[in-house]
Chains A and B, each alone.
Chain A
Amino acid sequence: MTLRNRIALYATISSIVALAAWAATTWVLLRYVETRFFDRRVRTDADELFRDLENFTREPRERRTQITERFVPLALRDRYIELLGAAREPLYRSPNLGGQALSDAPAGFSSRVLHGRNVRVGVFEHGELILYVGAELSDVERLGRDLAIAFLAALPVVAGLIAFGGRIVGLRALQPMVEITRVAEQITAERLDRRLPLPAARDELHRLAVALNRTFERLERSFGQAVRFSADASHQLKTPLTLLRVGLDALLRSPRCDSAEKDTVNELLDQVRRLTSLTEDLLLLARADAGRLELRRARCDLRPTFDDCLDDARTHAESRGIVLEVDLPPKVEVEADGGRVGIILQNLLENSVKYNRDGGRVRVCANVSPPWLEATVGNTGESIPRERQAHIFERFFRGQSDERIPGTGLGLSLAQELARAHGGDLELTESAADWTEFRLRLPLAGR
């Protein structure tokens, strides 16, 4: 559920609860007030009856026979009436009582059920006479019922209005958030210079936008530095390397340079080449970090690349009695930058020979498993301890036994970055006692 809808829902629920409580309280209070009011009417009725009785009883002596229904005014004929004398002897009972007595009611006002109806009974004394007047509560009850119905009918309408209002309020309150999110989503590696719009009100969202903008600024700065590093370093490092290269070349051709010196110059040239290659790898990694690894993707067949790398690996494998087992289809078509994938394959195959035991085995396979091409390179090298497995793709990480094996520790790291830049991946899938296997995934070429 969206935040906006949640806000509307919470507002509605809490409003309904509050409204219900208000309605219940109002209902109870009204009911109380109405009953009081009703009591006063009963008292008025009693006073009227007493007045009538006074008029009635002035002359006659024999009350029992003389007090009849005639003394009850017409307006009060629907009341339940019982009159007791000084000795609590019944002097009159209204016919609607149907033989039932009211005289057991407590002093003051009380409610009871008479003939299945709720009746309010008041007890009044006048001289020696005690008068019990009962009146049906039906009016009060009807009012209560009507009120309850009105409340219940109003509640869903009001709840609906609040839900609607809550949504509008949520929408308005979250509008700056929506805007912030929309812009934040557009801020990518290529467009880090964009900033979030600041809401006009200096509220919580304003602070959030300011804080995020500050973060983006830091990000842009460090990203910019990384990108500049990759660009500057390529220029700064390559010029001296070119100079070295050209100078050594000239020295090699110079007649003044004797044979022993030429051997040294050749070795230095090899080192320049190594340094160039290392620079190249570092720059590729720097670019990968900056998200600016350029790939020239095209549909390409990796089989020749595999063959070249295998050809190179074989030169070294043969002298150590390592057997290369190759299980590759005649065409290995992927959507990739062939040159970059060559780097991955070269690294994997070079490692599989380098870290192998003498007389060991290397196995290279490729399977199509849409949407991937899965290439596996396994070798009979020492197993990589579990705690080191997580680190083998880190830069400059080298295994324990690696001191005697040449390498920079950048190869696997770079290979993985390149695989990921293609949308694929490079993983260590197995490292058992005598078998270590890597799996490379690359997107297959589209049909």
Chain B
Amino acid sequence: MRVLIVEDEPQLARHLATALEGAGHQTQVVHDGDDALSVALGGDFDLLLLDVNLPRRDGFDVLEEIRAAHRAVRVIMLTAMGEVNDRVRGLQLGADDYLAKPFAMAELLARVEAVGRRFPVEPLKVLHVADLSLDVETREAQRGSRHIELSAREFALLKLLMREPGRVFSRTELCERVWEREHEYDTKLVEVFIGRLRRKIDEPLATPLIHTVRHAGYTIGPPP
């Protein structure tokens, strides 16, 4: 995909460009709202990564102009976290998604992939990893023929892992995405909940599905 990165902080823009190029996209970077508008309207981009706080012309303004020009480009807004109004406003103005700063690069790449699909894939109702299945709607988990009870947190954690089997999630990313707010015993929380999931899912069996990747994090998948 051709991605236009609109971000006034040069270092962050560079990181974003590197990561997106690493994932096989073409990128161009601009640092202010006026440039963003002229480049976006002049070029042929599939996706705009648009920061809200920009010099000269803010992100909302750019978005509004682009939508007024009927450009079918997809837009992901980068908002400062906690700014509820920003998110709502961005979506109202026609953004396809938003991402709160600070974000994990893996999360950003996943969002870019999701938004980039011309036909959005219906999110799966039942997730499968080997003989483990998780019904996202009823919150029922089953391993083989055995039924597994999950608490809300355990469910959220398992769902996150099972959406992307094989991807290694760092402890921090798991914390961020399951708990949203920081806890004073954050890292311990992840360990405890991973431990609980293991007891419920893996313990009686010889083939564990949840794996610890040393120094990196956790992943789910069939044993290697």
Q: Take A239-B101, A250-B15, A346-B183 as given contacts and tell me if A294 and B151 are in contact as well, using a CB distance cutoff of 8 Å.
A: no
Residue contact B80 to A238, C-beta cutoff 8 Å? yes
Binds B, one of A15-23, A50-58, A305-313: A305-313
Residue contact B188 to A315, C-beta cutoff 8 Å? yes
| Distance (whole angstroms) from the CB of B50 to the closest CB of chain A | 15
Residue contact B81 to A342, C-beta cutoff 8 Å? no
Task: Answer yes or no: B102 CB below 8 A from chain A CBs.
Answer: yes
Residue contact B101 to A346, C-beta cutoff 8 Å? no
Q: Report A273-328 residues with CB < 8 Å from chain B CB.
A: 273-274, 276-278, 280, 283-284, 294, 296, 304, 307-308, 311-312, 315-316
A417 to B106, CA, bound (A): 35
Residue contact B104 to A242, C-beta cutoff 8 Å? no
- Residue picked from B80, B154, B176, most chain A C-beta under 10 Å: B80
Q: Report B102-154 residues with CB < 8 Å from chain A CB.
A: 102-106, 151-154
Residue contact B183 to A312, C-beta cutoff 8 Å? yes
Q: Which of A263, A308, A342 contacts B153 (CB 8 A)?
A: A308
Task: Answer yes or no: B19 CB below 8 A from chain A CBs.
Answer: yes
Task: Answer yes or no: B82 CB below 8 A from chain A CBs.
Answer: yes
Task: Answer yes or no: B215 CB below 8 A from chain A CBs.
Answer: yes
Task: Answer yes or no: A259 CB below 8 A from chain B CBs.
Answer: yes
Say which size band chain B's interface belongs to.
Answer: 35 or more
**Chain A: how many interface residues by the 8 Å CB criterion?**
47
With a cutoff of 8 Å between Cβ atoms, the chain B residues found around residue A346 in the complex are 181, 183
Q: Take A249-B104, A266-B170 as given contacts and tell me if A294 and B182 are in contact as well, using a CB distance cutoff of 8 Å.
A: no
Residue contact B102 to A252, C-beta cutoff 8 Å? no
Chain B window 80-110, contacts with chain A (Cβ cutoff 8 Å), 1 for yes, 0 for no: 1111110000000000000001111110000
Q: Which of A242, A266, A270 contacts B102 (CB 8 A)?
A: A242
A234 to B80, CA, bound (A): 7
Task: Answer yes or no: B186 CB below 8 A from chain A CBs.
Answer: yes
With a cutoff of 8 Å between Cβ atoms, the chain A residues found around residue B21 in the complex are none
A311 to B193, CA, bound (A): 10
Q: Take A247-B15, A250-B19 as given contacts and tell me if A262 and B216 are in contact as well, using a CB distance cutoff of 8 Å.
A: yes
Of all chain B residues, the one with the shortest Cβ separation from A339 is: B180
12 other A-B residue contacts (CB within 8 Å) besides A266-B215, A307-B151, A315-B185: A239-B9, A239-B101, A246-B105, A252-B216, A263-B215, A269-B171, A270-B175, A273-B176, A283-B82, A339-B180, A354-B184, A407-B184
Tell me the B residues contacting A by CB distance below 8 Å: 9, 11-12, 15-16, 18-19, 53, 80-85, 101-106, 151-154, 170-172, 175-176, 179-189, 192-193, 214-216
